[in-house]
Amino acid sequence: MISITDTETEHEKHCLMQELDLMTSLLPHPNVLQLFGYCQDTEPPMLVMEYPVYGSLVEYLRDLRKSYTHVTIAGHNNFSLTHELMSFATQIARGMAYLASLKILHRDLAARSILLGEGKHCKITSFGEAQTIIDTHHYDKVCKARQAIRWMAPESIFQEDFSPKSDIWSFGILLWEIVTLGATPYSNLQASQVMKHVKKGHVLVSPPHCKPQLFSVMCKCWLIRPTTRPNFELLAEILQALHEESADLIQLEKYPADQYFILDPNRPDEIV
């Protein structure tokens, strides 16, 4: 059980109530965090939700980095860890395919918005920025908040245009986070520089320990024309097939730990 703290603003409370309304409308799905119930009669309001045993995906990935060696990470061998990471990617694609089937946009998809429950099942959460699509393609933002520029599609950054295909772009960034064990995208650039970088058509480069077959999936998510990007159902199928075909899509023995950095999301230059 969790509560909304007194330090949250009225706007944040409104967004959370909006999230609760959305979550209570969903049928249970193995890869979407389940809300069992909530009470608005208390101050602060109380929520009853699934317990994420392993915490957030981003922190789990970063904990793996902390104990990294070229032979093993936190007791995993490279094969078992690659299997685990690919499983995370496929599960998230399936969860997002379910949300997309209900015409729900997430708008803040990233490793930080995924929780890990029993059996390390990925649970999509953080629906405070999500809304049902108003028409067939686009959505008008209701709860304005700090923009996660590093995960946003170009059309979302520059035209404030959000669609199922902008969630696909964010999923490509999330895949990159998984492969790099929770590194910050574009960590060598300030958020304002990321905007200029993306506007010129640049994307993240392939991690040296990532096989081309897997990086090509990320690149499909980052196609400039939104209509040419795949949907989540297809991405789940592709990732599952790749996982079954190859056991070394992520070659952790080549992982360049000194090349990936984690930025403080509260830095002044991150607020855009």
Residue of 21, 108, 140, 161 with catalytic role: 108
pTM comes to 0.86
Which of residues 83 and 69 earns the better pLDDT score? 83
**Does the annotation flag 112 for ligand binding?**
yes
pLDDT attached to residue 48: 80
Q: pLDDT digit string (tens) for 197-231?
A: 999 999 999 999 999 999 999 999 999 999 999 99
- The domain 53-270 is placed in CATH, from the list 3.30.360.10, 3.30.750.24, 1.10.510.10, 2.30.110.20, at 1.10.510.10
φ, ψ of residue 206 to 5 degrees: the values are -70, 130
Average pLDDT over residues 43-50: 76
User: Would residue 108 show up in a list of annotated catalytic residues for this protein?
Assistant: yes
Average pLDDT over residues 110-127: 93
User: In this structure, what DSSP letter does residue 120 have?
Assistant: G
Q: Where are the domains of the chain?
A: 53-270
- Give the alpha-carbon dihedral of 78, 60, 221, 20, to 10 degrees: 150
pLDDT attached to residue 142: 42
Q: Which residues have CB under 8 Å from 214's CB, separation 6+?
A: 175, 179, 242, 249, 250
Split at pLDDT 50, 70, 90, the class of 119 is very high
pLDDT at 68 over 70: no
**Is the link from the previous residue into 44 a cis peptide, with omega within 30 of 0?**
yes
Q: pLDDT digit string (tens) for 130-172?
A: 555 544 343 334 444 457 899 999 999 999 999 999 999 999 9
φ, ψ of residue 193 to 5 degrees: the values are -70, -30
Split at pLDDT 50, 70, 90, the class of 78 is low
Nearest to 141 by CA among 150, 152, 133: 133
pLDDT attached to residue 70: 46
Split at pLDDT 50, 70, 90, the class of 184 is very high
